[in-house]
Structure 1
Amino acid sequence: MNTKTLSQMIKASYSSLSPGQKKAAEFFMEHADEAVLLTAFQVGRKVGISETTVIRLAYALGFSGYSQMQDLVRKDWLAGKQQAAGEEYPSSENADEENLFRRVIDQERKILRQLLDQVNDDEIWKAIDAVIQADRVYVGGFGSSFAAAYWFYYTLKQLRGNVFISGPNGFLPEDLCDLTERSAAVIFSFPRYRRETFKLASYAEKQGSRIIAITDRQLSPVGQMASVTLTTDEHMDSGHHSIASVVSLLEVLIAGIQERDHEKITKRQQKLEILYAEKELFLE
């Protein structure tokens, strides 16, 4: 046998496995700590397939039998345990790189903890209600802010209709002319603040639309104009902006929208699934 891990072997052969073998393979990848102790019969019972199918998985991956495959499962599991035990004391020549990655992850953890502490529940629910009640929602984000704006736009469009988005470099007046006092403009703005953000907020304000700002601080240019301002790493002096904190905040908004508008969302998603199936958009 070669020096590949079982996970690498499964990934290389996954597309050629039978449906039952795929179930067993996924179990070995996701529950290695449990699989090290189980017989082929027990694995089969866990995932709802026969013992023979589990053994055939071993053959399909190039092993002489189930026992040889389980030996590799144990080897991989022990290697993972040893690596975890030695994480606090990196001794390789890559220690500096490992410390760099650790510093980045630690910084993100601090930012997310700060986000949890600073989130204002009342403001979150105001934003959620404004999005649900709006006749149309316009999402704006420019430059580096566009990535987060697009994620929110795409996700929100699965939940409701009449959702529109700017381009990364500007917006079309035709997209804004139908905004009303019943509309909502969700505007993303992070340093360096783009002029287009201020122009978009000014126009939405003139139309009487509710402005929801997703920004880094309450007193950012768009934050000052918004009726609801949701901030990410407001009190962190990190030297860079964390996309993780933005996505986490958006996940909270989406979860709240799903919670409060569940019935309408379910009906919309049922219609979408029929269309997706007709167009064969997805592999699974």
Structure 2
Amino acid sequence: MQDLLRSVSDAYKGFSTGQKKVGDLFFREPIFLAFSSALEVGRRVNVSESTVIRWTQKLGYKGYAEFQQVVQRKLAEERFEQAEQKTLEPNADQSFLENLLDAEITSIIKLKQSMNEDDLLQAVDLISSAKHLYIASDFFDYGLAHWFSGWLDMAIGSTEMIYPADGHYYSQLSKIGPGDTLIAFVFPRYTRMVVETVQSAKERGAKVILLTDSLESPALASADITIKVSLNTNLNIDSYTAVHALLTSIMRFVYVKEHAKVKENLARIEAVYKEKNIFY
């Protein structure tokens, strides 16, 4: 990205007054040009769409579309370079989308390299032996936690979400005790509500399986088993691809360990689906 910024800086003196406005916007907000049309860029700095297009041509590009593709690729490369412990390098010959998808692959490779299978097996044992399972999460990952909770309830039963925004929360909390297991999703941005739920469950004698991104997680002290899985963040958007892969692995381990029970429960549900003619 720095080389592109330098090329714009070197050409700056030759820009018209309107083109300098576009250049100034590029220095301030390159991401805006990467994902906005030439018309939107022109409106942002009060110049015409044609001025924006001529500005890119002044830089040696055929038009705005070609320039925008280069900016997208440069931004992607910059993000990848900043990523910690990267295992795949961005390919300059790939599109922006291809580099983003490579980042998702990288997040799963990192999980594979860092995953402690003993921790995973211990977590599956706690899930299988629990009298009752509770799933807690922050609101950012509520959807993923809800999906996981739904599958566990179908497969082995006695599973429910516990969420402070629900008035049922305090009734659920009062019932948690020895023999129960809480699975907590604690990822940035960490919220007090989920950390306090983890602490309360631990104080009441339940076992806690913590899924988190860091060994500095605020819920770590209350966990019996901690499984670390990193989020992939690009352009300020968190991707839970690796978390999803981890949950799928847990589900498959549970299926193998409790095969007869899971098979029976899923067959019962399928019978209801068929009775109610749910699917085409």
Question: TM-score normalised to the size of structure 1?
Answer: 0.62
SS in 1 for 2:226: strand
Aligned residue for 2:129? 133
1:274 is aligned, of 266, 271, 276, to 271
Partners of 2:138 and 2:187 within 8 A in 1: no
Aligned residue for 2:100? 104
Following TM superposition, by how much is the alpha carbon of 1:215 offset from its aligned partner in structure 2, in angstroms? 1.0
| Deviation by residue 1:19-52 (Cα, 9 ceiling, x = unmatched) | xxxxxxxxxxxxxxxxxxxxxxxxxxxxxxxxxx
Identity score, percent: 23
SS in 1 for 2:95: helix
Aligned residue for 1:214? 211
Aligned pair 1:160/2:156, yes or no? Answer: yes
Unaligned runs of 5+ in 2: 1-64, 73-93
Say what the alpha-carbon RMSD is for the aligned residues. Answer: 2.2
Aligned residue for 1:257? 254
Partners of 1:141 and 1:187 within 8 A in 2: yes
Q: What CA distance in whole angstroms lies between the structure 1 residues aligned with 2:260 and 2:151?
A: 17
Unaligned runs of 5+ in 1: 1-91
Following TM superposition, by how much is the alpha carbon of 1:142 offset from its aligned partner in structure 2, in angstroms? 2.1
Aligned residue for 2:245? 248
Aligned residue for 2:190? 193
> Which amino acid counterpart does residue 251 of structure 2 have in structure 1?
I
Partners of 2:199 and 2:219 within 8 A in 1: no
Aligned pair 1:122/2:118, yes or no? Answer: yes
| Deviation by residue 1:182-209 (Cα, 9 ceiling, x = unmatched) | 0000010111101111110111011110
Q: Where in structure 2 are the equivalents of 1:45-194 lying within 5 Å?
A: 93=66, 95-96=69-70, 99-167=95-163, 169=165, 172-194=169-191
SS in 2 for 1:280: coil
> Which amino acid counterpart does residue 157 of structure 1 have in structure 2?
D
Partners of 2:207 and 2:223 within 8 A in 1: yes
Residues matched between the structures, number: 191
Partners of 1:184 and 1:211 within 8 A in 2: yes
Following TM superposition, by how much is the alpha carbon of 1:229 offset from its aligned partner in structure 2, in angstroms? 0.8
Question: TM-score normalised to the size of structure 2?
Answer: 0.63
Q: What CA distance in whole angstroms lies between the structure 1 residues aligned with 2:270 and 2:106?
A: 39
Partners of 1:142 and 1:169 within 8 A in 2: no
Following TM superposition, by how much is the alpha carbon of 1:176 offset from its aligned partner in structure 2, in angstroms? 2.1
Partners of 1:127 and 1:228 within 8 A in 2: yes
